[in-house]
Chain A
Amino acid sequence: MSTSAKTRIVGASVPRKEGVDKLLGRARYVDDIEKEGMWYGATVRSTIPRGLIQFIGFDRRIDWTEFTVVTAADVPGKNHVQLIAADQPCLADGKVNHCDEPILLLAHPDKYKLREAVGAVHVEYEPLPPVFTIEDSERQDVIVWGADNLFKSFLLEKGDVEAAWAHAAHIVEGEYRTGAQEHLYIENNGVIAEFDAERGVTVWGSLQCPYYVHRSLAAVFDLPEDKVRVIQTETGGAFGGKEDFPSTLAAHAALLAMKSGHAIKMVYDRMEDLAATTKRHPSRVRHRTALDRDGKLLAMDIDLATDGGAYSTLSSTVLSRATLHSPGPYVCPNVRVRSHSWATNTVPYGAFRGFGAPQACFAIERHMDEIASAIGVDPIELRRRNFLHDGDTTATEQVMREPVILDKLLDRALAVSDYHARRARFARENQGGAIKRGLGIAAFYHGSGFTGSGERYLNSLAGVDVTAGARVRVLVSSTEFGQGTNTVLTQMAAEAIGLDYADVEMAPPDTGIVPNSGPTVASRTAMVVGRLIERASLQLVAMLREHAGLGAEYTRDEFFAACARYRAAHGDVVSLVRYEPPPGIFWDDQKYRGEAYPAFAWAVQIAQVAVDTVTYSAEVEEFWSVQEVGRVINPVLAGGQIEGGIAQGIGYALYEKVILQNGHMANNQMTNYIMPTAEDVPPIHVYFEEIPFRHGGYGAKGIGELPHDGPAPAILNAIKDATGVRFSAIPLLPEDLFSRLATRHSVEEAAAV
Chain B
Amino acid sequence: MSACVNIRFNVNGESRAIDAPPMKRLLDVLREDLRLIGTKEGCGEGECGSCSVRMNGELVNSCLVPALQADGATIETVEGLARNGELHPLQRAFLACGGAQCGICTPGMLMAAAHLLKHNPHPGMAEIREGLAGNLCRCTGFIRIFESVVAAAASEQAADAR
Contact = CB atoms under 8 A, between A and B. Distances in A.
Interface in B79-114: 79, 81-82, 87, 91, 94-98, 100-107, 110
Contacts of A669: 43, 45, 47
B60 interface: no
Nearest to A685: B143
A25 B45 CA distance: 21
A24 B138 contact: no
A16 B138 contact: no
Contacts of B104: 29, 185-187, 236-237
Return the 3 tightest CB-CB contacts between A and B, nearest first: A25-B38, A236-B104, A482-B102
A186 B133 contact: no
A186 B138 contact: yes
Contact of A186 (B37, B136, B144): B136
Given A185-B138, A677-B133, A270 B106 contact: no
B103 A18 contact: yes
B48 A186 contact: yes
A669 B48 CA distance: 10
Interface stretch (A523-531, A544-552, A632-640): A632-640
A32 B35 CA distance: 9
Contacts of B96: 15, 636
Contacts of B95: 15-16, 19-20, 23
A675 B94 contact: no
Contacts of A716: none
B130 interface: yes
A237 B102 contact: yes
A269 B141 CA distance: 23
A31 to B, nearest CB: 7
Contacts of A19: 94-95, 100, 103
Nearest to A22: B103
Interface in A631-676: 636-637, 639-640, 643-648, 669-671, 675-676
A676 B137 CA distance: 9
B148 to A, nearest CB: 10
Interface in B7-22: none
A270 B100 contact: no
Contact of A24 (B47, B82, B132): B82
B78 A25 contact: yes
A703 to B, nearest CB: 13
User: Residue among B77, B79, B143 with the most chain A CB within 10 A?
Assistant: B143
A140 B31 CA distance: 51
Contact of B98 (A16, A25, A646, A677): A16
A678 interface: yes
Chain B: interface residue count, which band? 35 or more
Given A24-B78, A29-B40, A678-B133, A237 B139 contact: yes
A681 interface: yes
Chain A: interface residue count, which band? 35 or more
A38 interface: no
Given A29-B104, A643-B143, A670 B98 contact: no
A50 to B, nearest CB: 30
Interface string A183-196: 11111100000000
A78 B34 CA distance: 42
A235 interface: yes
B101 A482 contact: yes
Interface in A1-37: 13, 15-16, 18-29, 31-32
Contacts of A648: 138, 141
A581 B154 CA distance: 49
B145 interface: yes
Given A186-B105, A270-B42, A636-B96, 17 more contacts: A16-B95, A18-B103, A21-B103, A22-B100, A23-B87, A23-B100, A24-B38, A24-B81, A31-B41, A112-B1, A186-B137, A644-B141, A645-B141, A671-B47, A676-B141, A678-B128, A681-B141
A186 B42 contact: yes
Given A482-B102, A483-B101, A26 B43 contact: no
B38 to A, nearest CB: 2
A235 B135 CA distance: 18
16 contacts: A19-B100, A24-B87, A25-B78, A32-B31, A186-B138, A236-B103, A237-B139, A482-B101, A484-B101, A640-B141, A643-B142, A643-B144, A644-B101, A644-B141, A647-B142, A678-B129
B50 interface: yes
A183 B133 CA distance: 19
B39 A25 contact: yes
Contacts of B69: none
A269 B44 contact: yes
B140 interface: yes
Nearest to A29: B104
B142 A678 contact: yes
Nearest to A647: B141
A671 B133 contact: no
